Structure 1
Amino acid sequence: MFFSSFLKKRYLYQYLISLSGCVSILTSGINLGWTSPYLPQILNGTYINISMTSDQGSWCAVMPLIGAVPGAFLTIFIVDRIGRKLSTLLMAPIVLLCFILLAFSDTVFSIFSVRFIIGAVEGGLYTVLPIYLGEISDPQIRGILTALMGAFSILGALLINVLGFHYSIFTSSLLCAIVPIVHFLTFVLVPESPYYLIKKGKIKEAKNSLKILRATVNIDDELNELKLAVARQETEKEAKVTDLITVKSNRRAVLIYIIINFTRKFSGKNPIQFYTTSIFYLAEGSLSTYLSVIVFICIELVAAMIGVLLIDKTGRRPLLIVSTSICATALCLTGFHFVLKDTYMSYLSMFSWLPLTSLTVYNVCYTMGLELAQTVYLGELFPVNIKAKALGIADMLSVINGTIASKIFQIVADNFGLHYSFFVFSGCCVIGLLLIIKFVPETKNKTLEEIQLYLIQKTTKKSNNSS
């Protein structure tokens, strides 16, 4: 499906534009994965100028998540004023400067500061990029295009783990500085979202944008559909943040997002990503720590690419249900591994393969379902008149949940044992699974307008039944 649709002229530019936008997400994966190779090195004294405690290390890990909150908040106020394209482009020079500063950082404060600022940029990117990709894409490939964000984040994590095992912070930071340069030089060439241009009354520019995106001059019918969709959503009234709660269809969209995000974040992905190297070192598996980490992330990347192909073929909901079920099982098995390895002397000789296997299964299923589906749903659920505010708040909620989950992991692991952390996350997956089955709908092959009409009809039908 991917390769046949990629070769279609109508879709080609959409794929290329999306790839350019997703290059920016490489920096998110780099920043989130940075602590996996470098935090153990800092804590064991490899960098003698940097003195960091275990507690400080846990805060270093979550600093990008904390930074993402103000970043997402600020982006809410600029994305509808200066546009999706310019909002995205502004992030690149900030990230470039941060990587240069990180190369010369030799204190805890400077490392925290750089990770916080890049985290703020990530918060902005995860607010604006799903909007942009959702608005430029055909319904038939919208899932693939938005799911690419997850794949590029994983690629960034793989990149920094490979660099981190072989190069110093100085060298890897300068190499990573190439990423925002590539992003800026390619994304400056892409067209603005036609949705945004119509919203601003720039019909001629919107028409030209559609011609580029669809690789045809015959776009009058689609342009008229977009004008009607934007007009309907705009005439509902000027959206306020409170409309996410007071408007019933928005409230249902918020509920769907909260369920997916709760399940995603409290499945433990952030702490597993932050402490990948440490977890495999403590697991005492059959492979070396370095090889385990690289295999772990490489398989995750392959899973992301498979998920990208499947999400518009099987649908979002089936992937969510299957992936969450398997994640719960894999996390529970990982917890039992850490119980048994310290209890039975002969256990490791027979089951040294289990931690890498169970965590890899978790990672594959998480990536193909929970990771990619949330990104796709974010670009689909909210109407254009409140989408920027909704995605900004969604990103803030996501990073708050990720921070809480990461601190729970560190506190529970330090005080009660690593196995309890995995049992907690497994239980959260079970709760999330039940909620997904009950509340999360399928959006496959629906236009953004059709999804809004579905949410309105669903809430109207519920109100009529209750009355």
Structure 2
Amino acid sequence: MLLLPFFKVNQGYFYQYFATLAGAFSVLSSGINLGWTSPFLPELLSPNSTIPTTTDEGSWCAVAPLLGAPPGAIIAAVLVDRLGRKTTTLLMAPWVSLCFIGIAFSYNIWQIFGLRFFIGSVEGALYTVLPMYVGEISDPKIRDFLSSTIIIAGITGTLFINIIGSFFDIYTSSLICSVIPLIHMLMFSFVPESPYYFIKKGNLVEAKKSLQILRGKFDVDQELDSIVKAVVRQERTKNQAGLLDIFTIKSNRKACIIFVIVCMTNKFSGKNPCMFYTEMIFREAGSKIDATLSVILYCSVELVAVAITTFFIVHKFGKRKLLITSALGCSIAVLVLAIFFFLKDFGIDTDVVFWLPITALVSYNIMFSVGLSFGMVTVLCELFPTNIKAKALCIADTYSVLMGAIVSKIFQISVDVAGSMSYPFLFFSSCTLVGFVLIVKYMPETKGKSLEEIQQLLIGQAQYSSELTVGHNSFI
């Protein structure tokens, strides 16, 4: 019995896996940057810090990558259809490497803020381009797996920085991290450009070559013809396609609403604060388990959970069921954490349940990994048509990171004002429960569908088999 898609003896998948893996190294750097404050913010906030930092300055440093993402996303939206998906992605690597070197030699918090902000701009560009690239090169049978690999890389980066951050200082860790973008640049140089990009440029010869490499076979005429028809249909109104089309055209509006639902559920489940302040949360909980060890365990469990979901689950059950399960599970796990902090606030002895914070956070991580972790990326890969995809991904990425920054500041301000972590976690639990209800009502199933079939589903014109209409009756 074949459990993993990549265990199949199918050479046609090789370059799709390699291209995604090469792109994933850029996301590894993104995960490092996002998780950087977990091991190093407590060090910066300590009285003995060589870089004196207040809690407010620390929170701005934490959200710097999120604030930097929008301008990067805007630039990428312009470049991706001019230079191509591959070239745009390759341009990012040297800048990230230089920024990590800059962090190693920083001597005040605002220098670190600026460099993390710049890396965030690159991340904004990355999350505009890479989901588009992966979605366009992927066979429908393994698209869910490949798009989920992007998330695995980000989590691996967060785990990596927490591990090396527990052994090395900011200087050494940053120099180590500066090597990873160079590995990405080397590997990604060998991958083919997206056939969709070549078709948009009218270069059918190169599009066919690219598709032959990606599929590992010479006979790709039928698929090429299908892609050409899809691009022609979507590009027919290219000159008229503007930002308003994302909201005024029914199919685009449906895709936009679905993304907002998944994005808001993801962000307001509390993922960014948990990532930025992981070690501080464990220290505040007063657990008998070492805070650094708890963080590494927390990140390791998330990585394993996402890997298991990606390899064994997502291609069998589809995203809709997993997102529903994930949202409900996250709401319950965060509620348990809120209750623990309420008990601690009221002076109730929590020694007997010292294991509860790490259990709740690990449970949250597992449930988040089941669906919400990759939900936004897969929605972006699949739901938006070619003619407005760059604009849509730019707006989506900007919206996503701004929501992440807002949630993180809400967490920091509420903890500073209320002096407790119970209130923000109760708020996160309530928001995730609302997201659960909306996902149940509006999220369609796209398992096994080509990008063209998904567009037809959104438009409401396709009359496929009953499998194609799973979840359609409850659709928008």
Q: Normalising TM by the smaller chain, what interval?
A: over 0.9
Provide the rounded CA distance (Å) in 1 between the counterparts of 2:432 and 2:320: 15
Deviation (angstroms), 1:172: 0.5
- Select the residue among 346, 368, 381 that pairs with 2:370: 368
Deviation (angstroms), 1:13: 1.6
The amino acid of 2:261's aligned partner reads: I
Deviation (angstroms), 1:342: 3.7
Deviation (angstroms), 1:340: 1.1
The amino acid of 2:21's aligned partner reads: L
Give the gaps of 5 or more residues in structure 1.
461-467
Deviations 1:277-317 (A, max 9, x none): 00001112231111111110000000110121222211000
For 1:166, what is the secondary structure of its paired residue?
A: coil
- Select the residue among 291, 301, 304 that pairs with 2:303: 301
Deviation (angstroms), 1:347: 2.6
Deviations 1:320-347 (A, max 9, x none): 0001001000000000111112435433
Report what 2:318 is aligned to.
315
Say yes or no: does 1:272 pair with 2:278.
no
Q: 1:185 and 1:345, CA in 2 relative to 1: closer, same or farther beyond 3 A? A: same
For 2:254, what is the secondary structure of its paired residue?
A: helix
The amino acid of 2:425's aligned partner reads: F
The amino acid of 1:451's aligned partner reads: I
Deviations 1:130-151 (A, max 9, x none): 0000000000000110111110
1:13-412 equivalence runs, <5 A: 13-48=15-50, 50-238=51-239, 239-309=241-311, 310-348=313-351, 350-412=352-414
The amino acid of 1:362's aligned partner reads: Y
What is the RMSD computed on CA atoms of the aligned residues? Answer: 1.4
Deviation (angstroms), 1:220: 1.0
What's the TM-score once normalised by structure 1's chain length?
A: 0.96
For 1:192, what is the secondary structure of its paired residue?
A: coil
For 1:374, what is the secondary structure of its paired residue?
A: helix
Deviation (angstroms), 1:356: 0.4
Say yes or no: does 1:454 pair with 2:457.
yes
Provide the rounded CA distance (Å) in 1 between the counterparts of 2:460 and 2:216: 34
Deviation (angstroms), 1:39: 0.6
Please tell me whether the aligned partners of residues 124 and 398 of structure 2 are also in contact (alpha carbons under 8 angstroms): yes
Provide the rounded CA distance (Å) in 1 between the counterparts of 2:406 and 2:133: 29
What's the TM-score once normalised by structure 2's chain length?
A: 0.94
The amino acid of 2:300's aligned partner reads: C
Aligned residues between the structures:
458
% same residue: 50
Deviation (angstroms), 1:364: 1.1
Deviation (angstroms), 1:415: 1.4
Please tell me whether the aligned partners of residues 334 and 419 of structure 1 are also in contact (alpha carbons under 8 angstroms): yes
Report what 1:463 is aligned to.
none
Q: 1:202 and 1:399, CA in 2 relative to 1: closer, same or farther beyond 3 A? A: same
1:411-426 equivalence runs, <5 A: 411-416=413-418, 417-426=420-429
Report what 2:470 is aligned to.
none
Deviation (angstroms), 1:423: 0.1
Provide the rounded CA distance (Å) in 2 between the counterparts of 1:7 and 1:62: 44
The amino acid of 2:331's aligned partner reads: A
Please tell me whether the aligned partners of residues 267 and 425 of structure 1 are also in contact (alpha carbons under 8 angstroms): yes
Provide the rounded CA distance (Å) in 2 between the counterparts of 1:113 and 1:338: 34
Provide the rounded CA distance (Å) in 1 between the counterparts of 2:394 and 2:99: 22
Deviations 1:219-251 (A, max 9, x none): 111111111111111113432111101111101
Please tell me whether the aligned partners of residues 311 and 373 of structure 1 are also in contact (alpha carbons under 8 angstroms): no
Please tell me whether the aligned partners of residues 307 and 372 of structure 1 are also in contact (alpha carbons under 8 angstroms): no
Please tell me whether the aligned partners of residues 88 and 125 of structure 1 are also in contact (alpha carbons under 8 angstroms): yes
Provide the rounded CA distance (Å) in 2 between the counterparts of 1:9 and 1:189: 17
Deviation (angstroms), 1:371: 1.1
Please tell me whether the aligned partners of residues 131 and 380 of structure 2 are also in contact (alpha carbons under 8 angstroms): yes
- Select the residue among 441, 446, 449 that pairs with 1:443: 446
Q: 1:305 and 1:394, CA in 2 relative to 1: closer, same or farther beyond 3 A? A: same
Please tell me whether the aligned partners of residues 244 and 390 of structure 1 are also in contact (alpha carbons under 8 angstroms): yes
Q: 1:237 and 1:175, CA in 2 relative to 1: closer, same or farther beyond 3 A? A: closer
Deviations 1:250-274 (A, max 9, x none): 0111000000000000100001100
Please tell me whether the aligned partners of residues 6 and 12 of structure 1 are also in contact (alpha carbons under 8 angstroms): no
For 1:24, what is the secondary structure of its paired residue?
A: helix
Q: 1:5 and 1:385, CA in 2 relative to 1: closer, same or farther beyond 3 A? A: farther
Please tell me whether the aligned partners of residues 334 and 360 of structure 2 are also in contact (alpha carbons under 8 angstroms): yes
For 1:267, what is the secondary structure of its paired residue?
A: coil
For 1:171, what is the secondary structure of its paired residue?
A: helix
Provide the rounded CA distance (Å) in 1 between the counterparts of 2:364 and 2:157: 19
Please tell me whether the aligned partners of residues 280 and 356 of structure 1 are also in contact (alpha carbons under 8 angstroms): yes
Deviation (angstroms), 1:44: 0.2
Deviation (angstroms), 1:47: 3.3
Provide the rounded CA distance (Å) in 1 between the counterparts of 2:397 and 2:303: 23
Report what 2:467 is aligned to.
none
Q: Is the deviation greater in 2-11 or in 31-40?
A: 2-11
Provide the rounded CA distance (Å) in 2 between the counterparts of 1:236 and 1:456: 15
Deviations 1:162-192 (A, max 9, x none): 1111101110011001100100000011000
Please tell me whether the aligned partners of residues 42 and 280 of structure 2 are also in contact (alpha carbons under 8 angstroms): yes
Deviation (angstroms), 1:3: 5.1
Deviation (angstroms), 1:377: 1.1
